[in-house]
Amino acid sequence: LCDWSSDVCSSDLITEFLPVSSTGHLILANAFLGHTSEFSKTFDIAIQSGAMLAVFVVTWREWLKREIG
């Protein structure tokens, strides 16, 4: 990973105990570090998509049970 992503990961760890969502961490870190490129936005989307996919993978059986009844 590049130096840029390690900065974002570090800021996420530092603010982990604050009541800020992971999306908020990314937005604040990008604003603070001055990262506004298309790569930065794509990276944010990839990170959030991975988080949503992880939740779905863990909970899909429960969702299926609720839909079937």
pLDDT, mean of residues 11-17: 60
Backbone angles phi, psi at 44, to 5 degrees: -60, -45
Q: Which two tokens stand for residue 29?
A: 């870190």
**pLDDT (tens digit, 9 = 90+) per residue, 39-67?**
888 888 888 888 889 888 989 888 888 88
Look up the pTM and report it: 0.56
Amino acid at 60: W
Q: What percent of the chain has pLDDT over 90?
A: 0
Our CA dihedral for 25, 9, 41, 46, rounded to 10 degrees, sits at -100
d(Cα 5, Cα 64) in Å, to the nearest integer? 36
**pLDDT (tens digit, 9 = 90+) per residue, 18-44?**
666 777 778 888 888 888 889 888 888
